[in-house]
Chains A and B, each alone.
Chain A
Amino acid sequence: MSRSDILSRLNQATPSQAQGQTDSQTPLPASFTIPYSQQPKAFSTAWEVLGGTWELHENATAARLAFLLYLREQNIRFIIAWSTSNLPLEGLGEMLQGADIQLVSPNRRDIDPDIVVGLTSASAALAATGSLVLVPEPGQSWLPSLLPIRHIILLPTSRLYPDLNGWRQAWVNEDKIDDIARSLIITGPSSSNDIELHSHRGIFGPRSMHILLIQDD
């Protein structure tokens, strides 16, 4: 009963002469698009403004070694992570196993509060705003990017897009409208300003974010 009541009231309140008045779309001004070659630099600049740290590596081998070094320097032994088949570094699982660093699959029943690091990649990243796009798939849980205090991202530069508009248009052209519609877009660490406008990081999401950009094109 509510449905037909509501639609009937709305139909009466929306006279037919109002329809069509907004048919002519107000055009948007053409926006500056970051050229592809400048996107890694633009992304890292935006990322720094958000408070994140980053490294850029010429290839997967350099990235793998740098990642291992980073984990050792930070004394990280356990990581909640995407499945290794979804991470863009081949041989990562074996390398970490050899270094006695354990990758833990996210499972809310087993979430250990002492695991402070989450490891993911991203389906896309937006250079203008330093944003990451995560699409939920098997082995690509959102939880490693939300629950631990520290979030580490492995990102091939081929997944960079200039901005929100550029990313959406590219994925529409690739027939990925459904993925656009169910994605999580992350722009910076978790922050809240609820206590006298003081900025506090990590109330729910991570407090810090570190990204390894991997040149792959």
Chain B
Amino acid sequence: MLADNHTRLALQRLSHTVSRSSAQAWAGVQDQEAVRSRVGWARQRVLDQLPMYLERLENATEANGVQVQWADSAQNANRIIIEILQSLDVKEALRNHAPLLDEIALDKAAEANGIDLTRLHPGDRILELTNSQISHPVWPAAHLRIEDISEAAREQWSMPTTVDPDILASAIRVRLRRRLIGSRTAILGLNFAVAETGSMVCLDNDGHNPSLIALARNAILLLSVEQVVADSEDLHLLVEAYARSAWGRPLPAYVTQLCSPSPQKIDGPRQIHLILVDNRRSRILDRGYGEALRCIHCGACHNVCPVYQQIGSQGYDDSPYSGPIGAVINPILLRPGLAEHQPFLSTNCLACGPACPVDIDLPALLQQHRQELASKIASSRERSAIRLWRYLLRRPTLFVNAFRRAGRRRVIMPRRK
């Protein structure tokens, strides 16, 4: 399961670089612990009354002229999207960078229904170009070498080989801008939505979200149900926490907020659909892992995880959620039995807990999974053996004597042949 040498080095370099800049960004905050605690509170208070805040959001967005639908599963979310696109007689659309859209496998659903869907985020475009999997929630193409990107560009775009990243980035820019200017329909995964005002929010540094929203005539927005925020004050705290942890900046380069369909002469889509997606989040809450739904997908836990840096995202069963948070939610989010081993992808170093800007006790949740799984799969003989082992460990003298006897009888050290 170890990633190849280059990927491991690339992820370690990423982790080191981002951790350092994130630490610097947080160092500028007066009383960091109080701020993190407040941010965690902002998330938890919504989770504690999630149905109420979702209904509030629905009322606010509908009052703003947005059409709201609910999807209990990935399949239903895709069905709704395809139906909307077909009703608009749309054959091509652009999408942004959002783990939710990967979670529901939107790209496959679009392809199966003859919709030409283009990923507008530069990192996602590079993944498509090189036929690679996402390696990090915020830096999706961090594991790729410039030589590999250049080779893929040479094959598909007939570009001369280059190791100049600016030349490659310019080539990507030209192609993406051409699609952007020519397109009318955008599908976006939201970072947050504000229950108080119905504001729908996307964050980025390259500008693909505001460009998509300003130019689109039709917009389909998806929000996973736990990403609703109570009010603008909480939103701004979360945006700041996200920017510090994900990018080491005080704010993202672009905080794009959309409330309602735009009238003529004002930028923005004339028609907006909002889809609220559950897809097993209610199950995560029900199983006692609701604290994990505070996650804002900043990748901070990835940047300190020694296991993730060794195995990359490929150790997490093709889920868009990797690292410690992935190991907590995937056993419930993915189909039963697929990801039960993931909580064991941990050395119990406890680094992820303090790194989390929304105060999720990731180590405790991983332990909780392990205990649940151990009690399920251990046979009665195994459980008896573990009870005996625990008994002996607490009694050192007895433990040593038992081992000596076992050694004399060659129970644990059979005679060499």
Contact = CB atoms under 8 A, between A and B. Distances in A.
B144 to A, nearest CB: 8
A129 interface: yes
A137 interface: yes
A188 interface: yes
B4 to A, nearest CB: 16
A8 B194 CA distance: 22
Q: Is the interface of B mostly helix, strand, loop or mixed?
A: helix
A80 interface: no
A177 B232 contact: yes
B54 A7 contact: yes
Contact of B253 (A5, A7, A187): A187
B278 A6 contact: yes
B103 interface: no
A198 B250 CA distance: 20
The residue in A7, A138, A177 that gathers the most chain B C-beta atoms within 10 A of its C-beta is A7
Interface stretch (A36-44, A85-93, A95-103, A199-207): A199-207
Nearest to B203: A185
B253 A13 contact: no
A21 B49 CA distance: 10
Interface stretch (A60-68, A69-77, A139-147): A139-147
Contacts of A181: 194, 197-199, 232, 257, 259
Contact of B259 (A178, A187, A198): A178
Interface string A172-186: 100001101111111
B214 A5 contact: no
A52 to B, nearest CB: 12
Contact of B41 (A26, A142, A194): A26
B138 to A, nearest CB: 10
22 contacts: A6-B72, A13-B285, A14-B50, A28-B38, A29-B35, A129-B250, A141-B266, A142-B210, A146-B211, A147-B211, A164-B236, A164-B240, A183-B257, A184-B210, A185-B251, A189-B253, A194-B142, A196-B145, A198-B166, A200-B165, A203-B169, A204-B177
Interface of A: 2-3, 5-7, 9-14, 18-23, 25-29, 31-32, 108, 111, 113, 128-129, 131, 136-139, 141-143, 146-147, 164-165, 168, 172, 177-178, 180-198, 200, 202-205
Shortest 10 CB-CB contacts between residues of A and residues of B: A205-B207, A204-B207, A13-B285, A9-B282, A181-B199, A181-B197, A194-B123, A13-B286, A29-B31, A185-B255
Given A6-B282, A204-B208, 11 more contacts: A2-B72, A5-B72, A9-B283, A10-B225, A13-B286, A14-B48, A14-B50, A22-B48, A164-B240, A196-B144, A197-B142
